[in-house]
């Protein structure tokens, strides 16, 4: 009798476990920023990307603090914060959207899966609809997401005399998040 | 005489250009701001988190980009994708805490009380401090 009750309970718990919404999260994702224009390298990295996604629906969010972008050159970092991103006024940037083909990712099988992402990217207080392609790598059940956003700097209300010259008018954001 | 003036101006021009180049491309790369060089605002991890959760914009105006010296209990230790150490300081079970990324790898233990110094970048799900160094 006890065995039957035990098996029944085991069945119930496994049922609830499998139906629970699985959320993957990290606070140490990476985003590389590159806006190299004519000659000088303009690159930075942010190692405190806060990101979450839901396995069943593909809903995904990335959040970053603009001051967390670290440049090799302190002066460049100061210009980036003060003159372009105005990071005191707009301290955060985020992306909210969906991995539209999440069903094609088999989280229990190691491998690399192509993903499509759709959503709204908000930088400098301006939100723009965007979509991109990326990859989801599964290794021992741990997903790593890689993707790239091309950002038309001016469409986010970021102005500066060097944009289009020394600074590329289209910046690249490379995402690399291990959950 | 005229030649001398032209020559001197030319030399001054070169020295100025070299100076600007040095400041922008060499000095600014080798002299990044360090938390250790600056006077810090001293605060406990829990009160820092409370300031940000109560009024984020006011807390931003007070702490953003400033060096903070934060004390608290280590709830979690980890390493980021660049192999630098991270800790979460605060209260177990709290909705938000203080998340610190260190400049280097540090040997830290869950449950210890530590004092760290770092730059405040703002607030996501936790208050974020970067380029941290262990004070005690």
Write the pLDDT tens digit of every residue in B54-109: 999 999 999 999 999 999 999 999 999 988 999 999 988 888 999 999 998 888 99
Using a CB–CB cut-off of 8 Å, the residues of A that contact B are 27-30, 45, 47-48, 50, 63-65, 67-68, 70, 72-76, 81, 88, 91-92, 176, 178
Nearest CA to A155 out of A113, A132, A124 is that of A124
What CATH class is the domain B35-134? mainly beta
Distance CA A158, CA A35 (A): 13
Residue A7 lies in a domain: no
Here the CATH number for the domain that contains residue A168 is 2.40.128.110
ipTM exceeds 0.85, yes or no: no
Distance CA A86, CA A79 (A): 9
Residue A2 lies in a domain: no
What is the domain count for chain A? 1
Asked if residues A64 and A48 have their Cβ atoms less than 8 Å apart, the reply is yes
Kindly report the pTM of this predicted structure: 0.83
CB pairs under 8 A between A and B: 73
pLDDT (tens, 9 = 90+) of chain A, 179 residues, equals: 566 665 655 555 555 555 567 999 999 999 999 989 887 888 999 999 999 999 999 999 999 999 999 998 898 899 899 889 999 999 999 999 999 999 999 999 999 999 999 999 999 999 999 999 999 999 998 999 999 999 998 899 888 777 777 888 889 999 999 99
Residue A13 lies in a domain: no
Q: How confident is the model at residue B32 (pLDDT cuts 50, 70, 90)?
A: confident
- Which residues does residue B87 pair with via DSSP β-bridges, in sequence order? B77, B100
Work out the average pLDDT over B111-130: 94
Nearest CA to B119 out of B67, B70, B59 is that of B67
Domain edges within chain B: 1-31, 35-134
A63: left (phi over 0), alpha (psi -120 to 50) or beta: beta
Collect all residues of chain A within an 8 Å Cβ-Cβ radius of residue B121: 48, 65, 67-68, 91
Range of the domain at A111: 25-178
Question: Is the pLDDT assigned to residue B47 strictly greater than 60?
Answer: yes
Q: How far away is chain B from the Cα of A6, in angstroms, using its nearest Cα?
A: 32
Best residue in A25, A62, A65 to probe B by mutation, most B CBs within 10 Å? Answer: A65
Work out the average pLDDT over B29-40: 80
Question: Is the pLDDT assigned to residue B23 strictly greater than 80?
Answer: no
């Amino acid at each position: 009798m006890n065995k039957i009750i035990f098996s029944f309970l085991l069945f119930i718990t496994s049922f609830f476990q499998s139906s629970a919404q699985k959320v993957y999260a990290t606070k140490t994702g990476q985003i590389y920023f590159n806006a190299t224009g004519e000659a000088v390298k303009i690159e930075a990295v942010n190692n405190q990307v806060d990101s979450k996604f839901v396995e069943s629906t593909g809903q995904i969010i990335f959040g970053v603090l603009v001051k967390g972008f670290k440049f090799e050159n302190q002066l460049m970092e100061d210009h980036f914060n003060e003159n372009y991103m105005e990071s005191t006024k707009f301290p955060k940037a985020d992306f909210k959207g969906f991995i539209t083909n999440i069903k094609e990712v088999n989280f229990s099988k190691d491998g690399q899966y192509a993903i499509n992402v759709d959503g709204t990217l908000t930088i400098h207080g301006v939100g723009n609809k965007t979509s991109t392609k990326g990859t989801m790598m599964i290794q021992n059940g741990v997903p790593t997401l890689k993707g790239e956003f091309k950002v038309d700097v001016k469409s986010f209300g970021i102005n500066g005399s060097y944009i289009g010259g020394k600074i590329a008018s289209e910046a690249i954001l490379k995402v690399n998040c291990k959950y | 005489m005229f030649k001398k003036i032209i020559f001197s101006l030319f030399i001054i021009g070169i020295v100025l250009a070299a100076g600007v180049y040095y400041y922008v491309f060499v000095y600014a790369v080798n002299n990044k701001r360090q938390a250790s060089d600056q006077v810090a605002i001293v605060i406990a991890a829990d009160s820092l988190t409370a300031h940000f959760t109560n009024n984020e914009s006011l807390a931003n105006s007070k702490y953003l980009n400033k060096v903070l010296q934060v004390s608290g209990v280590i709830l979690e230790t980890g390493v980021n994708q660049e192999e630098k150490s991270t800790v979460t300081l605060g209260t177990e079970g709290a909705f938000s805490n203080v998340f610190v990324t260190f400049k280097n790898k540090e040997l830290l233990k869950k449950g210890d009380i530590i004092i760290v110094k770092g730059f405040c970048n703002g607030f996501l799900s936790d208050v974020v401090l970067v380029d941290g160094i262990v004070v005690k």
